[in-house]
Structure 1
Amino acid sequence: MLEWKGVMPAVTTKFTAEDELDLELFNKNITAQITAGVHGIILGGTLGEASTLTKPEKELLLKNTLNTVAGKVPVLLNIAEQTTKDAIAAAQNAEKNGAAGLMLLPPMRYKATDFETVTYFKAIANSTSLPIMIYNNPVDYKIMVTLEMFEDLQSCENIQAIKESTRDITNIIRIKNRFGDRYKVFTGVDTLGMESLAIGADGWVAGLVCAYPAETVAIYELVKAGKLSEALTIYKWFMPLLELDISPQLVQNIKLAELATGIGSEYVRAPRLPLQGKERERVQAIIAKAMENRPMLFNYKSL
């Protein structure tokens, strides 16, 4: 059963130099996530370069991840499609192939109205028994899922969680005040991770966790145990890295960090290309400084 809590990495998709899926390296990263104590794995998000993946590749990634995880944590698939029909098909296929849950974006490439967006979400939710997290990111996807819309979505019992990425962490309190525990709330912005957990977020859909799983899980566990000072020590060190997540080149940034920690490569799929020139040097300098000063972690697994 899917429990909506904790750190859930939105994992990157690993490619070879020949632009094929690199399942060996991908599995190495997934194993590192599990060892660090993450609470779930999310496939096919923005970080996973989902828009460049074929349907067979998505199916292969899901089946491969389920095999690697071996039931230790739930595996979720992100749904980001241009049509309701395609989104329903993707959701049903994910359920057939063994996904434990879904993360659901609003309609892609079309700025749907509130009514259209709610209708889209309901149609997908009603097509599957899988539990669903709604991804609320108006900054990047230009559609705001309002409290009134979440009120309407309560009729779908399997819509159970929200990835809150409005950049306004007080929205977490508004959601909790209005709906209590009807929806579990995850922060979706790395640079607001600790603050969001401290004011009541149930979990963290994280990005830099792809390269630094132990540090991310440690922050979550320490905050939930009330050890804010210990968590803040790690978070202060982490912040320059976390800022790499709030960039149009977040995929390239995070893959460079994965390369530095030995659990990834920097291969991306075109039209994305590896970072070049001064920007590459800037990002590498941030990563190098962080690696030189990587903190000793508290025994967070015993909390």
Structure 2
Amino acid sequence: MDRDSVDWFGYLPAVTTPFTATGELDLAAWRGQLDWLAAERLHGVIVGGTTGEWFSLSEQERAELFRTAAEQVGDRLTVLGGCNAYTPAEAIRHAEAARAAGLHGILLTPPPYVVPTRAEVVAFYRAVSEAVDIPLCVYNWPRGTGVDLDADLLLELSALDTVVAVKNSTPDFGGFVRSLVALRHRVRYFGIPTNEVGIELMTTIGGDGLMGAGAVLGADHPDFFRALRAGDLDRARVLGARDRVIMEDWFGPDYGARFGNAQAIMKYALTLRGVPAGHVRAPLLPLTPAEQDRVRATMTQLDLLP
């Protein structure tokens, strides 16, 4: 497999997992959220990622989310399964569940907390690639894993049989560009910012889009990339500026939340829009009233409240 084995492009967000107020998985809300995302013409979704609180999901719950997403929107959107895990055996079981559900691919970080060596990172991905025949997107997430995959290491990983894409969330912009140049002809490359820099990168060097989080702006997110593909750079700038408001108000340069937690921010913002995003699950906490006010202010500024 390589970049031409898939048609992934544009905005594919890691989406929130709805829980009830008492912490149960809310599949009715999940279906409603997925329908809203499809109606907003997202290019795809990532299920059970960091925004989806994979760390508090049981193996059975993650598989159920995969199956439900495939049934609900698999014919309308690209659906990727988040397979983050501490061991290759766990990641393989999640990847097998994604394949059994009929998902279009999987997203996988190096093992979090472990801080693996370069050789251990390669061995981890090789084990998953050799065990499950499903398109794989390598996710470089230094904030969550403690390791930053540089261009040489990503190039080595791109040679694995099932690797077709990279989501690069490094805060090292120079490293991001070096990896883009090294990988653009081999795998799909995501992480392009929705600003003038991103426009310049995609129109002069390459890149395939952004695997963001939450999709709070709805259609504005994918339409940025549709505008770029159509050559309408003025419209892309307008849409990108709206996304920049959210990124600057709510998140820091390493993609961490400026207040509360990213999952609660996204869920509260979506709920304000009438989307059934549900509650966060422990150990995460809901936003405080003051934090909710910050989210509401941004949503008001962007004219997103009903």
- Checking the alignment, whether the CA contact within 8 Å between 2:167 and 2:211 is kept in structure 1 is yes
Q: Which of residues 268, 278, 288 in structure 1 aligns to 2:290?
A: 278
Equivalent pairs: percent with the same residue? 27
- Checking the alignment, whether the CA contact within 8 Å between 1:8 and 1:42 is kept in structure 2 is yes
Residue matched to 2:182: 178
Residue matched to 2:228: 223
Q: Which of residues 200, 225, 232 in structure 1 aligns to 2:237?
A: 232
Q: Which of residues 257, 263, 268 in structure 2 aligns to 1:256?
A: 268
1:199 matched to 2:201 = yes
Residues 34-65 of structure 1 show CA distances to partners (whole Å, capped at 9, x for unaligned) of 12222222101110011011111111111111
Gaps of 5+ in 1: 295-303
Give the secondary structure class of the aligned counterpart of 2:171: coil
Q: 1:39 to 1:236 in 2, by over 3 A?
A: closer
Q: Which has the higher contact order (CA 8 A, sep 6+)?
A: 2
Q: Which of residues 110, 119, 124 in structure 2 aligns to 1:120?
A: 124
Q: Which of residues 78, 81, 85 in structure 1 aligns to 2:82?
A: 78
What is the rounded CA distance, in whole Å, between the counterparts of 1:80 and 1:128 in structure 2? Answer: 15
Q: With structure 2 as the length reference, what TM-score do the two structures score?
A: 0.87
Q: With structure 1 as the length reference, what TM-score do the two structures score?
A: 0.88
Count of residue correspondences: 290
Residue matched to 2:34: 30
- Checking the alignment, whether the CA contact within 8 Å between 2:37 and 2:218 is kept in structure 1 is yes
Residues 17-56 of structure 1: pairs in structure 2 closer than 5 A: 17-56=21-60
| Range moving further from structure 2, 73-82 or 273-282 | 273-282
Amino acid aligned to 1:229: D
- Checking the alignment, whether the CA contact within 8 Å between 1:222 and 1:231 is kept in structure 2 is yes
Give the secondary structure class of the aligned counterpart of 2:219: helix
Gaps of 5+ in 2: none
Residue matched to 2:95: 91
| Range moving further from structure 2, 157-166 or 69-78 | 69-78
RMSD, aligned CA: 2.1
- Checking the alignment, whether the CA contact within 8 Å between 2:21 and 2:278 is kept in structure 1 is no
Q: 1:226 to 1:272 in 2, by over 3 A?
A: same
What is the rounded CA distance, in whole Å, between the counterparts of 2:291 and 2:111 in structure 1? Answer: 32
- Checking the alignment, whether the CA contact within 8 Å between 2:14 and 2:214 is kept in structure 1 is no
